[in-house]
Amino acid sequence: MRRIKIQLSYDGTDYHGWQIQPGLATIQGTLEEVISGIEGKPVPVAGSGRTDAGVHALAQVAAFTIDNPIPVDNLARAMNRLLPRDIRVTRAEEAHLDFHPRFEAKAKTYEYRIFRAEICPPFERRYVYHHPYPLRVEEMIAAAPLLEGEHDFTAFAASDERDELGVSKVRTIFCSRIAQEADRLIYRVTGSGFLKHMVRNIVGVLLDVGKGNVDHARVLARLEPGCLVPPGPTAPARGLFLISVEYY
């Protein structure tokens, strides 16, 4: 029995997110179909987290257990031959039998890309949020670090089936920054973990800061325990990328 850890990159445009959903194309479901075919029996695949429908990944991490003795390099090649072209395994390695890509992750980094020019090139449209309207960019840049630290992010999280379990929505953000690069605004955030729609809701609030609808004090108020401000606005999924998962 072998535990295999893989790193993969995917274009999430044509998928209904990471998690398996009956009758819908998902990243997890596609991987399980391919790996199960190689193994000759059903093989469940665990991921480091659930990306939303339309969200992309440069370095998602997943793991599965197989008996097949195929060397990891050959396994990666076999998977890439069978996977659709918008999903690629970029690395495969042996892991300890109890390895879980979600529970052992120490930090994750996401990047959100906003395209600011009047005309969005057709080859960019699947991977950026096109927002050619006026923004107070300096205010956004100053607001982004306000999210750093340990906070209750309830006001930035969409409802989730785990809410009924009373799971804590406290998370630690290690770094939250916006940079302007030519016609793009790039928001990059690293944290201990992220809630459903959390990054997209943060971006939506930062855009509201740029529009002059929300000031810095109201951003901080959303981080107060018991804040009743509803989450959102939610930025579109297509601008969001999972950049890396760290295990230290």
Q: Which residues are catalytic?
A: 52
Q: Is 208 left (phi over 0), alpha (psi -120 to 50) or beta?
A: alpha
* E strand or H helix at 37: helix 27-39
- Phi and psi at 225, nearest 5°, equal -55, 135
- Pick from 63, 76, 57, 46: nearest CA to 17: 57
* Strands annotated E in the chain: 2-10, 46-47, 56-66, 87-95, 107-115, 129-130, 149-152, 170-181, 184-191, 240-246
Residue 48 DSSP one-character state: S
B/e letters for 142-175, b = 16+ CB within 10 Å, e = fewer, are ebbebbbeebbbbbbbeeeeeeeeeeebebebee
- Pick from 130, 158, 133: nearest CA to 50: 158
* E strand or H helix at 79: helix 72-82
Residue 229 DSSP one-character state: P
Identify whether the C-beta of residue 246 lies closer than 8 Å to the C-beta of residue 105.
Answer: yes
Sign of the CA dihedral running 88, 91, 92, 98:
negative
